[in-house]
DNA sequence: CTGCCCATGTAAATCGTTACATGATTAC
DNA sequence: GTAATCATGTAACGATTTACATGGGCAG
């Protein structure tokens, strides 16, 4: 169900076409939910049938884009969902799974995995930090649009919550990087020790 | 595809029935992958058809349990998967999604969400810490069985990798708790400040 | 006029959850 | 005997990914 509300959330800052939503929901982009166009277009149609969004093909535009916007009903439903208790997803971590079963593999393979882990979160970190800066400088498009449709008294909270969420993700990424780094160092020490012992025999 | 290998991994420490696998894969249990019996039983049958596991109904047992064990082929396939590069899943975080759209909600609702976040990871933390202790004391069943089928020279690595994975999860949980805690304190300060300003007017 | 990005979709397959069914064993 | 737990499944639904299809606009 979250995709539905991720779309509503996006549209609560600005009207947009399915294509624009698709770009934002591409993995690596700034949003907290990812989905492919093949999932987004049908969902938009369902939302339209529900009357939670309304779409109209722009006439001024040569590109036959269909721009969707939240209806009052959609806004209500979004708010209801947002305030509801969260269901945390079950644990599913394929990298951890690999790691604990790598106990029969050569150290270089373990090293490759840890380095890959670090590299993955290095990339994520760059994205999150970039977004954080864009929020602080008020250059993030989504944020600017959201602020524009709200009373100035709310601006601080809007920004603070965005920063809070981003900081959480930044700290997660930093943690994973530090963890992998320490693990790599431990692995190096372990191997040095083993080489020493082999020589000592 | 990961479920398949999570099952193979489990069976690489000890033969087991679908029911036993089901208990371990219950969320909250110690494994890094969760799944329900309705997914596990069919997967075991597919694995049997592939010849990666072989199951036989125990005759000494009054309960008609079917015990599965890895075949050599299954061991090979597991090792291949374990060593392969990991595909990290796309970002999907419904709690973050809620948080950034909570900017129109009353502070108490935000507080409830942050407290819920902390509570969730408090629970996870207890589980991970418990498992860590059980690994250190060598009382964890899965671990004992895995060690039993390996040369003593490998024991340290087996244990270290388990601890490494658990420490990662413990640190994740601690991070989420600290993050939520700090956010709650910030929220308290914000509200105190607002009350003060309102009085000052 | 060719290749790239914009733009919108459908169909099939895979993965995961929810709901339902059934029977045997064990503890009270 | 009856409730809880053991044990194994099937069917339907929902969510996600992969593959495929189509056509317009724009830059070189």
What's the pLDDT score for residue A60? 73
Confirm if B184 and B114 have CB atoms less than 8 A apart.
yes
* DSSP per-residue string spanning B75-120: HHHHHHHHHSPP-PPPPB-HHHHHHHTGGGS-HHHHHHHHHHHHHH
Given a cut of 50, the residues of chain B with pLDDT beneath it are: none
Which pLDDT score is estimated for A198?
81
State the pTM of this model: 0.95
The pLDDT tens digits along chain A (201 residues) read 999 999 999 999 999 999 999 999 998 788 899 999 999 999 999 999 999 999 998 777 777 899 999 999 999 999 999 999 999 999 999 999 999 999 999 999 999 999 999 999 999 999 999 999 999 999 999 999 999 999 999 999 999 999 999 999 999 999 999 999 999 999 999 989 888 888 887
CB atoms within 10 A of CB B137: 9
List bases in chain C with any atom under 7 Å of a protein Cβ.
6-12, 14-20, 24-26
Q: Report the residue of A24, A154, A168, A170 to disrupt the B interface, i.e. the one with the largest count of B CBs within 10 Å.
A: A168
In chain B, the domains with their CATH numbers are 2-83 (1.10.10.10), 94-200 (no CATH)
DSSP string for B15-80: -EEHHHHHHHTSTTSSSSB---HHHHHHHHHHHHHHTSEEEEE-SS-SS--EEEEE-HHHHHHHHH
Confidence at residue A194, expressed as pLDDT on a 0 to 100 scale: 84
Residue in B87, B90, B112 closest to A34 by CB: B90
Rounded distance between C-alpha atoms, residue A132 and residue A116, angstroms: 24
A2 Cβ within 7 A of any nucleic strand C atom: no
What is the C-alpha separation between A35 and A7, in angstroms, rounded? Answer: 10
All residues of chain B having their beta carbon less than 8 Å from the beta carbon of residue A160 are 186, 190
Contacts 24+ apart (CB under 8 A), B107-111: B107/B187, B107/B190, B107/B191, B109/A83, B110/A161, B110/B187, B111/B184, B111/B187
- pLDDT in the model for residue B28: 77
Question: SS3 for chain A, per residue?
Answer: CHHHHHHHHHHCCCCEEHHHHHHHCCCCCCCCECCCHHHHHHHHHHHHHHCCEEEEECCCCCCCCEEEEECHHHHHHHHHHHHCCCCCCCCECHHHHHHHCHHHCCHHHHHHHHHHHHHHHHHHHHHHHHHHHHHHCCCCHHHHHHHHCCCHHHHHHHHHHHHHHHHHHHHHHHHHHHHHHHHHHHHHHHHHHHHHHHHHC
Q: Decide if A94 touches B, using CB distance below 8 A.
A: yes
**Residue B150 DSSP class:** S
Mean pLDDT (chain B) is 95
Tell me the average pLDDT of chain A. Answer: 95
Give the model's pLDDT for residue B137: 97
CB contact under 8 A, A168 and B2: no
Give A100's contacts in chain B (Cβ within 8 Å). 9, 32, 161-162, 165
Check residue A147 and give its pLDDT: 97
Which chain B residues contact residue A175 at CB under 8 A?
A: 171-172, 175
A66: tokens are 């269909």
């Amino acid at each position: 169900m979250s995709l539905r509300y991720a779309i509503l959330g996006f549209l609560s800052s600005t009207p947009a076409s399915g294509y624009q939503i698709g770009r934002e929901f591409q993995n690596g982009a700034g949003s907290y939910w990812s989905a492919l166009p093949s999932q987004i277009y049908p969902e938009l149609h369902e939302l339209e049938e529900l009357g939670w969004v309304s779409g109209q093909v722009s006439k001024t535009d040569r590109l036959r884009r269909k721009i969707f916007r939240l209806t009052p009903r959609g806004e209500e439903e979004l708010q209801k969902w947002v305030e509801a208790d969260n269901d945390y997803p079950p644990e599913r971590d394929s990298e951890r799974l690999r790691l604990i079963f790598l106990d029969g593999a050569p150290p270089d393979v373990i090293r490759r995995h840890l380095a890959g882990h670090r590299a993955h979160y290095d990339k994520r970190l760059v994205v999150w930090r970039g977004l954080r800066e864009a929020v602080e400088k008020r250059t993030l498009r989504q944020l600017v649009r959201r602020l524009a449709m709200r009373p100035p008294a709310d601006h601080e909270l809007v920004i603070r919550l965005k920063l809070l969420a981003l900081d959480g993700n930044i700290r997660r990424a930093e943690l994973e990087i530090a963890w992998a780094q320490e693990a790599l160092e431990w692995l190096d020490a372990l191997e040095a020790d083993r080489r020493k012992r082999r020589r000592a025999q």
